[in-house]
Structure 1
């Protein structure tokens, strides 16, 4: 029994090293809160360790970890709604050089703020598809949805972002004429 726990611990630590960045990025984009993100990433791997015996290899490890993280994120969103707290990312790590970072920072912050206005399912699908580059099938497994529902939700989410952008741009033009 002691040997099994050691193997389990090592396996989860290997997953931590391999998937930490992916899980961190997913949670950060969902919540836009670095401190909370660190806690939820930690909780994701703790839950994976505790639930290890229930992992039946029907999906890959990354998909399973995203599923755990998704549930933690949804719980956190519910807590925040109850408390009516909203926080936005003001600084996003960027792989660009400093000039590009300065040029793109405003656009990235605006996009993240717009995504925060979307309902949680829309955010989940956009982040999993566009940021984490999961396949439609993987997203379906993570969310427990059919591939058709994933495609429809992604389409609606992108339409919502597009409408927000059009309203903001259109609103700016109306204000300029007065």
Structure 2
């Protein structure tokens, strides 16, 4: 059974964004309590986003921590032109890109002939929702990069179509189209996945 992750209703999301942006601006002025509220308000969104981008839930906490370290270090330059969440997710994207670049040049040493398979076997399998999470990631990987990003930003992270369009730098209609096509593909794949016994018979 797949787990559905729905974004917050628009009005609730708008209030949460306004609140997080206000905390960010207050933290920029040197308020440590505001900085703590800012991190708490957006930690979940950042964690989901970096886990998706990196494809590695194991490193998501480290990437989220790196994102917030970068954000707090450059908070003095944040002026509130975009919501704090949109600003923070752009920092998260750079943090993941830097991490992937570092990993690409790092030598991989393993005794196993197939180190990737050995690594996958070492991952925990008995955690609640683990199989559903793996299945969802596998389905998302079948989408094109553009459709996958639009879907995750709007349906998992919870950005509005307008925010997602500003974030990826394309028209709102394009984001809507990408999300619609991603949904159609995912629904078809889910139907096919739920009918193996019928096909076998």
TM-score, normalising length: structure 2: 0.61
User: Compared with structure 1, are the counterparts of its residues 72 and 152 closer, same or farther at alpha carbon in structure 2 (3 Å cutoff)?
Assistant: farther
> Number of residues paired by the alignment?
163
Which moves more between the two structures, 19-28 or 66-75? 66-75
Change (3 A) 1:153 1:5: closer
Distance in structure 2 (CA, Å) of the matches to 1:91 and 1:142: 35
Q: Given the alignment of the two structures, is residue 110 of structure 1 paired with residue 135 of structure 2, yes or no? A: yes
The separation in 1 between residues aligned to 2:40 and 2:148, in whole angstroms, is: 26
Aligned to 2:46: 23
Shift of 1:21: 1.6
**RMSD value over aligned CA atoms?**
3.8
**1:65 has 2:88 as partner:** yes
Give the corresponding residue for 1:159: 184
Unaligned runs of 5+ in 1: 95-100
TM-fit CA distance, 1:36: 1.6
The correspondence for 1:147, drawn from 151, 161, 172, is 172
- 2:75 is matched with 52
| Between structures 1 and 2, the one with greater helix share | 1
Give the alignment partner of residue 138 of structure 1, picking from 160, 163, 168: 163
Deviation at 1:22, TM superposition (A): 1.8
Deviation at 1:122, TM superposition (A): 2.2
Q: Within 5 A, what are the aligned runs for 1:66-85?
A: 66-76=89-99
What runs of 5+ residues in structure 2 fail to find an aligned partner?
1-26, 107-115
Larger mean Cα displacement after TM superposition, 128-137 or 11-20: 11-20
State the TM-score, normalized to the length of structure 1: 0.67
Distance change in 2, residues 1:5/1:170 (3 Å) = closer
CA distance 1:130–1:53, change in 2 (3 Å)? same
- Give deviations 1:61-108, integer Å, cap 9, x for gaps: 11211122133334556677889x7988876976xxxxxx6xxx6455
Deviations 1:16-56 (A, max 9, x none): 12211221122223434233211210111122123223322
Q: 1:172 to 1:120 in 2, by over 3 A?
A: farther
Name the SS for the 1:7 alignment partner: coil
